Amino acid sequence: MTPRMLLADPNVPGLADFGKDPLWITIIKALFIFVFLMLGVVFGVWTERKLISRMQHRYGPNRAGKFGLLQSIADAIKMGLKEDILPRTVDKVIYLLAPIVIAVPAFLSFSIIPFGPMVSMFGVRTPLQLTDLPVAVLLVLAMASIGVYGIVLAGWGSRSPYAMLGGLRSTAQVISYEIAMGLSFVAVFLFAGTLSTSEIVAKQASGGSFALGGLDIPLPSWYAVLLIPSFLIYVITMLGETNRVPFDLPEGEGELVGGFHTEYSSSLKFAMFQLGEYINVFTVSALCITLFLGGWHAPWPISLWDGANVGWWPMLWFFVKLVLLFGFFVWVRASLPRIRYDQLMAFGWKVLIPLNLAWILLVASVRALNLAGAQRTMVLVIAAVVVVGCLAIYFRFDTVNQRRREAQEERVREEYERLGEEPTAGGFPVPALDLPHYHGVNGRKEVPSGTN
């Protein structure tokens, strides 16, 4: 079955199936998404605390309710009822607006995520998706861009140097990693031929084939296999986009106390920051499932069952994939340390973005070669010239940077020679340690004078 035939399947929704629901069906879907995300945050916090505790040989929450399941609910009630402290120097309007700006776009992003195929809901045939657009994927990027305004406003409105630095860090980080994230989608758009999330999921039900030299080469159905560089780059960028470890520099407690939410007490406003962060984690995970992991389609070998992708069963496969991706976020947090800020920016601009551009060029060349009547020789020559040019520019700039580093090291060495000091410990002078001296035949310890 080809992807074009799949779009004609009455069980697989397309763009034409949206905008026809009665108002009460739309309200039910919106309420379901809201309740799903709220419960997901509550149990996501509990799951993260439990998993990290087990990884660190601890028990985690185990007092409030069975297995500590009520701990997150107790924390939410505490933050809702706790006294809200408002610092004197803050800009009140911006200070109060920032948590709302973070939380609201996070909810809106989930409106274009497909949970399943066409189903019958109270006698009405409707897709398990709130809405869809011809440019639905761009809506998520737009909402993520608006969400960062909340972080910037929180830093600006707090009138605190730590919060301000956290907001500025987040701005630079989102710009860097959102570019790489957007570029990782381009290869998917080239293969799917659409930006609609429902149709991208439909295209992954059958991978189709690629004509090469008179042979039809079968392609895998999930874009995570077919476009594995785009998938890996997106997995990295979704960690940076959500400010999660190892890219949680905007709220690094080691140097910024709490980052952009330093001046927010553990009250309802602080809870909204946490709510927005966890919903953003669910959103980027759901988008990863939609674009790369087949969406609501059942994985192999469950897909061999004829009823696996019909009715309400696909919601289960979608939920299982979402739980596994959330577990990946927790695993990374428990395993990797926070990197330095210069390493974060260099990795985004010097590694992810150039790799993305080279991969897009390769994918576009393959798609051009597969078009009927395409001048394959010309396409290959242009692609080769561009690749060689990119490599030449990279090595040229790398040589310049290497010479600059060598010149800086030479200046540091000359400065040490002028001062009469020897560079140690990686080029930095280390003062002598005032420790007790051991000497004598029996290793008797001599305590310096003036010590007890």
CA 51 to chain centre: 20
Across the range 376-400, mean pLDDT stands at: 67
pLDDT score of 217 more than 60: no
pLDDT score of 445 more than 50: no
- The residues, any chain, with a CB within 8 Å of residue 50's CB and separated by 6 or more, are 60, 61, 67, 68
d(CA 83, CA 256): 24
Structure-block tokens of residue 269: 């406003």
Across the range 434-445, mean pLDDT stands at: 48
Exposed e or buried b for every residue in 120-144, given b needs 16+ CB within 10 A?
A: eeeeeebbbbbbbbeebbebbbebb
Per residue in 10-26, pLDDT tens? Answer: 778 888 889 889 999 99
pTM of the model: 0.80
Looking at residue 374, what is its pLDDT? 57
Looking at residue 6, what is its pLDDT? 46
d(CA 379, CA 177): 30
pLDDT-derived band at 207 (thresholds 50, 70, 90) equals low
d(CA 15, CA 17): 5
Across the range 97-120, mean pLDDT stands at: 90
pLDDT score of 422 more than 80: no
3-state helix, strand, coil split of the chain in percent (to 5) is: 65, 5, 30
| Average pLDDT value for the chain | 81
Per residue in 167-201, pLDDT tens? Answer: 888 888 888 888 999 999 999 999 888 999 999 99
Looking at residue 369, what is its pLDDT? 73
pLDDT score of 307 more than 90: no
Looking at residue 344, what is its pLDDT? 86
Domain boundaries, the chain: 84-340
pLDDT score of 282 more than 90: yes
Looking at residue 288, what is its pLDDT? 95
Looking at residue 111, what is its pLDDT? 92
pLDDT score of 1 more than 50: no
Structure-block tokens of residue 287: 């988008």
Give the CA distances from residue 285 to residues 234, 239, 307, 318, 324, in Å, rounded to whole numbers and listed in that order. 10, 10, 25, 11, 9
Looking at residue 254, what is its pLDDT? 59
Across the range 264-286, mean pLDDT stands at: 87
pLDDT-derived band at 423 (thresholds 50, 70, 90) equals low
pLDDT score of 448 more than 60: no
- Give the containing element (helix H, strand E) for 118: strand 118-121
Looking at residue 316, what is its pLDDT? 94
Share of the chain above pLDDT 70, in %: 78
Per residue in 39-55, pLDDT tens? Answer: 999 999 999 999 999 98
Across the range 309-316, mean pLDDT stands at: 91
